[in-house]
Structure formats: C-alpha cells, structure tokens
Chain A
C-alpha cells in the first residue's frame, strides 16, 4: 500500500540533544513538508522541499534542519538550538501540481525533558 510513514510515533529526548525524525513516502510525490503542531493550534510550516536536493525554510525554521537526498525521504533534525522542541511533528507529501491536497504521516510526538 502507498503511503507516508513517520517514525517513531513517540520520542523522548534529553534537553540539549539533537534528534532526527524520520519521514518516508512511496507515493512518488515530488513535494514534502514538515509541520509542527502545538496544543490547540494549527500546523506551522518548518521546512518544505519540492524536488530532490532542494528545500526551503518555512515560517519557523530556526532550530531545525532537513535534507532531501532521495525523493522518498525527508528527515527532520531538531537541534539543541530549538528553544521549545516539545510538540507534535507532522510530515506530509503532495504531487508537485498546485491543486492537490497533502497526505500526512501519522505524526511524531516529541517530548524533551
């Protein structure tokens, strides 16, 4: 079955440690996105990539980094520079065409203690 997979679903890290969240899709989508969601709020865009080896900052990129070495994969690293990393992180993908919806992974809930 085609889909988008995030792992793990729950992740705990100590403050000051970098952590990488995985996102893999087999939908052959060109575009991939990372969003952050805090309680009671909508999704805020961290980074997005429309093609392999290229990505752009979203609205809240500070403290995060990404790579897009393969079409299927778009991992997100939450660095120690991110002031409030505890959140629900969602990865999404879509075809390159503008008029298409995004398909979301199940999300990773990151807790930094």
Chain B
C-alpha cells in the first residue's frame, strides 16, 4: 500500500518563502506530483518529480529524494493568492495515484 504524510496547516507571510514537506512509503513509484487546490475547486497541477533532485518552475520548486521517501514544495515570493491547500500525490503501479491529506497554507499580509 501507500502512505503519504504532510503537515496539516502552515502559515507564512506575504513575500516570504515556505517549504511544505511530504514523506511517503509506497509499494511502487512512478513519480511524485504536487497539486494546488483552492477551497471548493479542483486541484491544479504544479510540479512533477521522478528523479532525485530539484525541479524549478517560476516561483515554485519541488525536490525529491527517492531513497528517503521525501519531497518538498518550495514557494518563493509568497502572494496572497497562494493561500490554498497543497496536495502531494505519488503515482504507483498500474497508474494509480495516492494523495496525501493536503497542507492548508495561509498567507498573511
């Protein structure tokens, strides 16, 4: 089976940097995804890691260490609109993805 852990809530200040961690234990691994979800809306894709290392995409970066079962999402230059839930998801065997419970990020002025 798959088990994914991420913090429930985080708070940060506008303009700052925040790091959201995700640890996972899986029976198969075909990549780790980060999604952003605003309340009442569908998740939208942010980033993808399948090899170890850092992937940068504008203000968002994601890191993966497969040996440690660990990933993080880094958000720079935080804006108020970044207040949302951030979901870590691992794609395992047979195309199935398992999602964490999400981290609710609140950005304060």
Contact = CB atoms under 8 A, between A and B. Distances in A.
B43 A90 contact: yes
Contacts of A105: 42
Contacts of B94: 50, 56
B101 A45 contact: no
Contacts of B98: 45
Interface residues of A, number: 27
B50 interface: yes
B7 interface: no
Interface string B26-53: 0000110101000011111100101000
Given A42-B101, A99-B48, A101-B48, A50 B95 contact: yes
B43 A43 contact: yes
Nearest to A107: B42
B1 to A, nearest CB: 9
A39 B89 CA distance: 18
Given A98-B31, A109-B40, 19 more contacts: A33-B97, A43-B43, A43-B99, A48-B95, A48-B96, A88-B40, A90-B42, A90-B43, A94-B95, A98-B30, A98-B95, A99-B30, A99-B31, A99-B48, A99-B50, A101-B48, A102-B33, A102-B45, A106-B42
* Top 7 A-B residue pairs of the complex, sorted by shortest distance between their CB atoms: A104-B42, A42-B99, A98-B30, A101-B45, A42-B101, A43-B99, A42-B102
